[in-house]
Amino acid sequence: MRALWERVLPDELSELVDSPVERLYVEYKSWIKLTEHKTRADLARHIAAISNFGGGYIVFGIDDDGRSCGPVPTEFQLDHDFVASVTRKYLDPAIHCDVRWTRSMQGTAHPIIVVPPHGATPICAKANGPDTKGKIEGIVAGAYYLRKPGPESSQIVTAADWRDIIRRCALHDRSAILAALTAALSTEPNDASRANPRDLLEQWARAADAEYLRRVGEGEYAVPLRDCRIQLSYMVETESPEELPFARFADLIREVSSEVDQHVASGWSLFYVFGADPLAPGGHPIHRWVKRNSCKPV
């Protein structure tokens, strides 16, 4: 019964091994030799690139074709201390990563390094990888790395590469500054014309529920979807009246998830974004309701 329950309600990371898909925020590795200096330098480069990308994962035991490499070898010893030693040696600031384990549908255990997004400053390499015949391998001191299509972890070489990193750095500092100013200068709001966030959220929830019922009513299903449902709605408020681009909604929520995970550890990320069908998020015309009712999509 326990095994069945675990497969019905898998942990949030199981999809990374059950449905391995190349994504910029995920790096797949076979059972690499952690004792080799080049391997450690490569790992540091991937951690820096993923953090500068906004956070993500490094999954072990999956080859480049998305196939399992079998059970974890006895000599593969990956834990928090090992990852911390790598980041302390090669990265500045030495970012703190989590190491979690998940089990695939075939029963194979896979360790996953959970990489958080960078903070007020991006992650920079502070030490070179090993020198092989005059060539530095793995990571280069002074370089900044970012995830790029391939996917790969490579040096930042263009101004466009810096755009999102600078935005996150600015938002990180701005949030801290605005929070302090708000606490010091805030007074009780007396603007009756300002919409109550709770009212807007309730309006959104009712509209979303009505749209769900309409779509369910258009088809026939083996289970009573109209009655068997749970709805959870939430709102993310920004410091300024900005409209966040809907096309980047999944990426933005993924960044929020990485940030929250650093402070709340409940077993499941509060804003985890599934990347594989049929659970992957998809845009729907209901988001236009937001604009019609003066509630910005966030």
- Residue 2 is predicted with a pLDDT of 31
C-alpha 143/C-alpha 241 separation (Å) is 36
Diameter of the chain by CA atoms? 71
* C-alpha to C-alpha distances, 232 to 9, 204, 208, nearest whole angstrom: 18, 11, 10
C-alpha 95/C-alpha 98 separation (Å) is 10
Structure tokens at 260: 């929250």
Q: Which of 109, 106, 88 is nearest to 97 (CA)?
A: 88
- Residue 281 is predicted with a pLDDT of 67
Could you say which residues of the chain have pLDDT below 70?
Answer: 1-12, 173-195, 236-245, 259, 261-270, 275-298
Angle of helix 80-90 relative to helix 37-53, nearest 10 degrees, comes to: 80
pTM of structure: 0.65
Q: With left for phi above 0 and alpha for psi between -120 and 50, is residue 72 left, alpha or beta?
A: beta
Whether 94 and 115 have beta carbons less than 8 Å apart is answered as no
- Residue 253 is predicted with a pLDDT of 76
Any residues with CB less than 8 A from the CB of 100 and at least 6 apart, and which? 13, 111, 112, 114
C-alpha 219/C-alpha 282 separation (Å) is 19
- Residue 7 is predicted with a pLDDT of 35
Q: Cα 282 from chain centroid?
A: 17
Tell me the per-residue pLDDT of 111-138, one tens digit each, with 9 for 90 and over.
999 998 888 889 999 999 999 888 999 9
- Residue 5 is predicted with a pLDDT of 28
Tell me the per-residue pLDDT of 23-60, one tens digit each, with 9 for 90 and over.
888 999 999 999 999 999 999 999 999 999 989 999 99
Structure tokens at 265: 């550890």
- Residue 238 is predicted with a pLDDT of 63
3-state secondary structure of 6: helix
